[in-house]
Chains A and B, each alone.
Chain A
């Protein structure tokens, strides 16, 4: 049990709390909610074992599902982005990722934005397709994905900027 483990445990609980207590009740324009709990998946340390990471992401999604009575939609989308994350990391950060030396506080803003955007859009697309579960309502699905993604990305970026530990 080192400080990284503790930091992630605290982050898990805080993000679930934030999501359940505040963000699920925003309902901006009737249906737009940000899902910033995926910051847990986004910021999880890279060096840890992938199996554990996938499992923890599943747990994260399932906890949100428990609170919002949504079956397994959050769990499914969380597991998917957790599994796909190495690919996206390689795409966004290139060689830094190869040497396993990414620190999310110090990477370039552009590639960080790209990384968060890709993960968020994949997550939301799976989330809303499973929630609506109806191919004839694909416009509604895409519409919800688009608007919620914008909201989530902005909040995620803000939170990472506010809580970044920059030592200059």
Chain B
């Protein structure tokens, strides 16, 4: 017993080092699996508060460009509104529009990040604004990511520029779908994999969300095809997508809640269990 205690005292620095190193490795590995990191995220009182006051100052520097982005979105929405007048009579109800099942909440980005390979953003809305895990986040131009953690006033977003992010996406003109991933290199490009070889893929085609994951509605734009090649087995395409969104300049975003998600997951679970 004496010897054990002596050993511990003699090697206490090394043991402490080992303990702390293992602890930080555990934290690191936890962040590599989706939704597992419990303690170390910036959606807490201290870091959220710091980033909030920081973004209050930083907002002023981007006012002009952000105004232009919002103006652009307004003009696009106006164009849709006024050009669709011909079909917008009282007898016509478009059941395919997603207004019924999806609720949009505006939010601001407090912390943007695009330089590392695991990018996480911070929003100024939390569960007191009924934001929960697995809600989608989009900007006026395209998708941004999925809500990961929430605290009372803040939420973190797993950006599409995160190597562990996987989002279902499809070609706009046909319904061939694949998975949107990121290789960790350029913040302007993401990769779409698992598109079958039979799909008609052309440079310049638009990629949209597929609506299969019931996080995003179908048809949220993502980007256009920049280049593509067949994968090693020559069965699927690997497509490089140029994002519509400038992920390096994000300010105003919308959080999408699918109000039917409970029903959909229940239904899927029961059919899978049978």
Binding site for A on B (CB under 8 A): 12-14, 16-17, 20-21, 23-32, 37, 40-42, 44, 46-47, 50-51, 54, 113-118, 120, 122, 156, 163, 184-187, 248
Interface footprint category on A: 35 or more
- Whole-angstrom distance from the CB of A165 to the nearest CB of chain B? 29
Contacts of A132 in B (CB 8 A): 117, 184
> Do B40 and A72 touch (CB < 8 A)?
yes
> Do A131 and B40 touch (CB < 8 A)?
no
> Do A51 and B115 touch (CB < 8 A)?
no
- Quick one: given A71-B28, A75-B27, are A58 and B156 in contact (CB under 8 Å)? no
> Of B16, B122, B186, which is within 8 A of A55 by CB?
B16
Q: Does A42 contact B (CB under 8 A)?
A: no
> Do A68 and B31 touch (CB < 8 A)?
no
Could you count the A-B residue pairs with CB atoms below 8 Å apart for me: how many are there? Answer: 111
> Do B20 and A79 touch (CB < 8 A)?
yes
Contacts of A68 in B (CB 8 A): 42, 113, 116
> Do A69 and B41 touch (CB < 8 A)?
yes
Q: Which of A20, A32, A69 has the most CB of B within 10 A?
A: A69
Contacts of A75 in B (CB 8 A): 20, 23-24, 27
> Do B13 and A54 touch (CB < 8 A)?
yes
Q: Does A156 contact B (CB under 8 A)?
A: no
Q: Which of B12, B25, B47, B115 has the most CB of A within 10 A?
A: B115
Interface CB pairs A-B, < 8 A, 9: A30-B186, A33-B115, A66-B44, A66-B46, A67-B47, A67-B50, A69-B156, A70-B116, A71-B24
Binding site for B on A (CB under 8 A): 20-21, 24, 27, 30-33, 50-51, 54-55, 58, 61-62, 65-73, 75-76, 79-80, 82-83, 130-134, 137, 140
Complex: A156 Cα to B273 Cα, angstroms: 58
Q: Nearest residue in A to B188 (C-beta to C-beta)?
A: A30
> Of B26, B46, B118, B156, which is within 8 A of A131 by CB?
B118
> Of B16, B28, B115, which is within 8 A of A31 by CB?
B115
